[in-house]
Each structure stands twice: as C-alpha cells, then as structure tokens.
Amino acid sequence: MFSYEDRIRAVRLYLKLGKRIGATIRQLGYPTKNSLKAWHREYEQCHDLRAGYVRSRPRYSDEQKKVAVDHYLSHGRCAAATLRALGHPSRETLAAWIEELCPDIRKRIVGRAVGSVPKSQKVKQAAVIELCTREQSARVVAEKAGVSRPTCIAGRISYSVERFQHL
C-alpha cells in the first residue's frame, strides 16, 4: 500500500511527463501500470485522491463461514465432502476458517509417535533371536520386545546372512 503522498506524487509526475506510464514508473520505481491508471482515473474524477484505502466487503459472510465449519465438523471432518456439498471455498480457505472458529481442533498427525524412544541394539538382538527360535509369530515377538515387526524380520534376515557367511 502506498501513502497518499506517494500516490499523489506519482499522479502529478505522470501528468507532467505527458501521461507516459513507463517513464513515470522508471523514474519513481513504483507503482504498477494498473495502479497508476487507477490513481489517475480517480484523480481525474474527484480532482484529488482518497486519503486511505477502503477495503472491499468480505467475499464470504460470517454466517457462510459458520455453516461451512459446522458442515465440516458434522460430516466426519471431511474437507472434500464439505467443499463438494457447499461449492465453496477452497481447501486453504476452509482450513483457515476452521482454525479461526475452532482453534482447539488441530490436524491429527498420523504416523510415528514423536516421543518414541529407539530401542537398544541388545533389545533388538533378543527379539531377533526369539524370532529365530520361532515359537511365536513375528508380530507377537515384536510387540513383546517393543520393536516393530519389520525390525524383527530385517534383523532375522541379516542374522541369517551372517550365520551362513561364517560357514
């Protein structure tokens, strides 16, 4: 946004240079071509420029925001269903409305727990040895040891490879 002084300076220079947009912008370093045209049009109509900017009315009313967020919450928190049913807004706008109207609702992060502590090598080796004896399934052995099933299986494979290399 440009101050009143910046805008009026640009319009006066524009008129002084014979309404040459390129020369005006090169000399001042601002504004854009369309901004300068709009400021000149306003200056011609009112013989002055407004002191400040007037914001246009919001695109969506508060009621529309509330309806969209309520629909999102009551239909399984599915953004795609809400957008499809209401026909507005964009996914980003809906996310901003949800954050604005229900700040306590956060996106759930699915995946590995942030606070999980990696298991020691001894614990992993014990799980692999227990898996090699094959008294229980890999899932049960992994749960008992507190490691993941793929860790047990990968360990068993590398353990088997090591044993065969020594033969």
pLDDT tens digit at each of 167 positions of the chain:
788 899 999 999 999 999 999 999 999 988 899 999 999 999 899 888 888 766 677 888 899 999 999 999 998 888 899 999 998 788 989 989 998 998 888 666 566 555 566 677 787 777 777 777 777 788 888 888 888 888 777 776 676 656 555 55
The answer as to whether 90 is a domain residue is yes
Note whether residue 142 is domain-resident: yes
Residues 93 and 126 in one domain: no
Quote the CA–CA distance of 31 and 36 in Å, as a whole number.
6
Is residue 125 one of the residues assigned to a domain? yes
125 lies in the same domain as 94: no
Query: Is residue 19, in this structure, part of any structural domain at all?
Result: yes
Rounded Cα gap, residues 132 and 141, in angstroms = 10
Residue 114 domain-assigned (yes or no):
no
Same domain, 11 and 42: yes
Angle between helices 62-74 and 91-101 (to 10 degrees): 90
In a domain? residue 78: yes
| One domain for residues 40 and 10 | yes
Specify if 87 maps to a domain: yes
Whether residues 125 and 160 share a domain: the answer is: yes
What range defines the domain where residue 24 resides? 4-46
Q: How many domains does the chain have?
A: 3
Same domain (yes/no): 73, 41? no
Helix (H, G, I), strand (E, B) or coil at 5: helix
Residue 83 lies in a domain: yes
pTM, two decimals, is 0.39
